[in-house]
Amino acid sequence: MLVTVKDMLTKARANGYAVGQFNINNLEWTKSILLTAQEMNSPVILGVSEGAGKYMGGFKVVSAMVKALIEEQNITVPVALHLDHGTYEGCYKCIEAGFSSIMFDGSHYPIDENIAKTKELVAVTREKGMSLEAEVGSIGGEEDGVVGMGECADPNECKAIADLGVTMLAAGIGNIHGKYPANWKGLSFETLEAVKEKVGDMPLVLHGGTGIPEDMIKKAISLGVAKINVNTECQLSFAAATRKYIEAGKDLEGKGFDPRKLLAPGAEAIKETVREKITLFGSADKA
């Protein structure tokens, strides 16, 4: 059974750790993350972007796959299925598909429109017993080879969104999706502290978890971050392990091409990445 992230993050805040959101892209990926969370007795959040949802055949397919894996693989740790960077329309699709949590990314709307749409989704998710993440201040990232620096959120806008009753808030603090450029200035702890002061106990979400130095991750957790998103690092470890397997000519051995064997090293590599992150975020044995 899926749960919302509310209790996970309340416990994380109270005990000084963060819960990882690991984005999923296919069956192997999902199975690896669930089995590792179980092995480490850690709560886990499965993130699904709109693109990944489409790739896997639609949000209903993802929801059915995750629920069936939890049952068949005897996963007993808390698992949330969460829409990552949802559009307004995508949020409604995931509500209908049986997700337990959604993110509405209204950061590109003027703040009044972000507030109006978030408010509406607060009411809907409350009624459905789901959790809701909102975003203020856009998170940078790579687009067509150009890396945009992350914006820093306005603490007053964060308060306006937090006061609507969202479960958690993603505030931009100079974080970026994907790899960080060499001239990245690091996380703005000044912004994080100012946001925290305005939003009180509201759990904060750190996007762009790939490549942030460990000391910055720990400091962010100590300042109110309770959920950390990781995607690129799993992609990189999956790709590297698959490439190594092919370059060694292993895919050509035996009875010819076997997709189960080809994808196995990547699936193992994701387990290792998830183990490292769960250890760093401090959520092992917190299920």
Rounded distance between C-alpha atoms, residue 242 and residue 225, angstroms: 33
Rounded distance between C-alpha atoms, residue 130 and residue 144, angstroms: 35
Rounded distance between C-alpha atoms, residue 105 and residue 84, angstroms: 8
The least CB distance from residue 49 to ligand 13P, in Å, is 7
Residue 230 found at the interface with ligand 13P (CB under 6 A): yes
Q: For ligand 13P, which is the closer residue by CB, 47 or 106?
A: 47
Handedness of CA 230, 201, 136, 174 (dihedral sign): negative
Rounded distance between C-alpha atoms, residue 42 and residue 79, angstroms: 9
Residue 148 found at the interface with ligand 13P (CB under 6 A): no
Q: For ligand 13P, which is the closer residue by CB, 6 or 85?
A: 85
Q: For ligand 13P, which is the closer residue by CB, 1 or 239?
A: 239
CA dihedral 63, 66, 69, 75 (to 10 degrees): -130
Residue 237 found at the interface with ligand 13P (CB under 6 A): no
Q: For ligand 13P, which is the closer residue by CB, 38 or 210?
A: 210
Number of H helices, E strands in the chain: 11, 10
The least CB distance from residue 229 to ligand 13P, in Å, is 3
Name the one residue in this structure whose structure tokens are 């929801």.
Answer: 63
Rounded distance between C-alpha atoms, residue 146 and residue 39, angstroms: 39
Rounded distance between C-alpha atoms, residue 251 and residue 95, angstroms: 40
The least CB distance from residue 150 to ligand 13P, in Å, is 11
* Contact residue for ligand 13P among 38, 107, 114, 231 (CB under 6 A): 231
Residue 105 found at the interface with ligand 13P (CB under 6 A): no
Q: Which of 84, 112, 163, 215 is catalytic?
A: 84
Residue 196 found at the interface with ligand 13P (CB under 6 A): no
Active site residue 84: yes
If DSSP codes are grouped into helix, strand and coil, which group holds residue 140? strand
Residue 133 found at the interface with ligand 13P (CB under 6 A): no
Residue 38 found at the interface with ligand 13P (CB under 6 A): no
* Contact residue for ligand 13P among 13, 31, 82, 177 (CB under 6 A): 177
Span interacting with ligand 13P, options 26-34, 148-156, 231-239, 254-262, rule CB under 6 A: 231-239
Q: For ligand 13P, which is the closer residue by CB, 157 or 233?
A: 233
* Contact residue for ligand 13P among 6, 48, 52, 84 (CB under 6 A): 84
Closest among 173, 151, 170 to 83, alpha carbons compared:
170
127 Cβ contact partners less than 8 Å away, ≥ 6 residues apart: none
Residue 210 found at the interface with ligand 13P (CB under 6 A): yes
The region, left, alpha or beta by phi > 0 then psi within -120 to 50, assigned to residue 135 is beta
Sites of contact with ligand 13P (CB under 6 A):
23, 47, 84-85, 177-178, 207-210, 229-233
* Residues known to be catalytic: 84
